[in-house]
């Protein structure tokens, strides 16, 4: 009898599960799943996008505020999406802008 190469035949395979923001409970997980990809779509290198997002987290910005700022940059089709998102974030956390400028927070 021939051996099957997978656990399921095509008609038995489980349906794929769509992962949407509503199905995940951790804002930071959502941020790092969708934020870099959104920046990449706007022309930012992925490594830079992750570094910038990580810096904003370290500076104390809440992940949902960061996601909203990235979304605003997307909606505006910003030419400089990181600068645009930074402007949207503003200085909502003390010391945040100093960190973003390269200073100590």
What's the pLDDT at 4?
Answer: 47
Ordered mean pLDDT values, 10 residues apiece, the chain (105 residues): 48 52 72 94 96 95 94 94 94 46 42
Mapping DSSP onto H, E and C, the string for the chain reads: CCCCCCCCCCCCCCCCCCCCHHHCCCHHHHHHHHHHHHHHHCCCCHHHHHHHHHHHHHCCCCHHHHHHHHHHHHHCCCCCHHHHHHHHHCCCCCCHHHHHCCCCC
pLDDT of residue 7: 45
Q: Cα–Cα distance between 3 and 52 in angstroms, integer? A: 50
């Amino acid at each position: 009898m021939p051996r099957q190469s997978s656990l399921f035949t095509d008609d038995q395979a489980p349906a794929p599960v769509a992962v949407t923001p509503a199905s995940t409970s951790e804002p930071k997980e959502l941020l790092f799943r969708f934020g870099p990809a959104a920046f990449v779509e706007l022309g930012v290198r992925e490594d830079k996008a992750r570094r910038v997002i990580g810096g904003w987290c370290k500076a104390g910005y809440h992940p949902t505020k960061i996601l909203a700022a990235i979304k605003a940059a997307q909606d505006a089709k910003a030419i400089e999406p990181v600068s645009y998102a930074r402007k949207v974030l503003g200085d909502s956390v003390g010391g945040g802008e100093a960190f973003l400028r390269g200073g100590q927070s």
